[in-house]
């Protein structure tokens, strides 16, 4: 029984990882999935001059942070043990707490903290190298798809 659960979790994790790697936009931004475990996902994204939103300071655009947040929250939902299949974003709110430091990459960790038969609830935090001082935080709801 426990073996079965572990096997299923491993399969889900592998599926989510392959899916992430198959996402053209995530690949284009250089996103790397570094952690994926039962409803928790971590994705990193390197600094890139194409993503600059403020030309005076070189600060990354909020839109690039959105892409990272959305991907990471989706990955967290997909690797949750109660989610049988894919997912889509219903709603995502991002609070931009400070400008990301120019030249530094971002790392986001998302947690799927509650899931029902039809909706997954997710929170995420994005940080640059100053990990104690988040750049942005997100809360979102996602669909739960697949048959059961």
Partner 1 sequence: MSRSRPEPVQIVKQRRDDALAALVARVPYIQYLGVSFDRRGDELTGVLGFQDKLIGNPLLPAIHGGVTAAFLEITSVITLSWTSQWDALEAGDPEGDAPQMRLPKTIDFTVDYLRSGLPRDAYARARITRAGRRYASVHVEGWQDNRSKLFAQATGHFLMPQQRRPDEQ
Answer yes or no: are the C-beta atoms of 44 and 90 closer than 8 Å: no
Work out whether 23 is an interface residue with partner 1 (CB under 8 A). Answer: yes
Q: Which residue has the tokens 């931004």?
A: 29
Among 2, 3, 4, 55, which residue interacts with partner 1 (rule: CB under 8 A)?
55
Q: H-helix or E-strand containing 136?
A: strand 136-143
Nearer to partner 1, 24 or 132 (CB): 24
Nearer to partner 1, 71 or 111 (CB): 71
Nearer to partner 1, 3 or 49 (CB): 49
In the shown chain, the binding pattern of residues 84 to 123 toward partner 1, with x for contact by CB under 8 A and - for none, equals --x-xxxxxxxxx--x------------------------
Residues 6+ apart with CB under 8 A from 38: 9, 79, 80, 81
Residues 6+ apart with CB under 8 A from 20: 26, 31, 33, 43, 71, 75
Task: Return residues touching partner 1 (CB under 8 A).
Answer: 22-26, 28, 49-56, 60-64, 66-71, 74, 86, 88-96, 99
């Amino acid at each position: 029984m426990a073996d079965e659960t572990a096997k299923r979790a491993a399969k889900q994790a592998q599926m989510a990882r392959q899916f992430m790697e198959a996402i053209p936009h995530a690949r284009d931004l250089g996103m790397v999935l570094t952690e994926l475990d039962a409803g928790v996902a971590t994705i990193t994204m390197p600094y890139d001059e194409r993503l600059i939103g403020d030309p005076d300071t070189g600060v990354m655009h909020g839109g690039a942070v959105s892409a990272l947040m959305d991907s990471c929250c989706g990955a967290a939902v997909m690797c949750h043990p109660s989610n049988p299949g894919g997912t889509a974003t219903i709603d995502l709110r991002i609070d931009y707490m400070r400008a990301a430091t120019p030249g530094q990459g971002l790392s986001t960790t998302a947690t799927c903290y509650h899931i029902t038969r039809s909706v997954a609830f997710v929170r995420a935090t994005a940080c640059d190298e100053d990990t104690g001082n988040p750049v942005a935080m997100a809360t979102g709801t996602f669909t739960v798809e697949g048959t059961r």
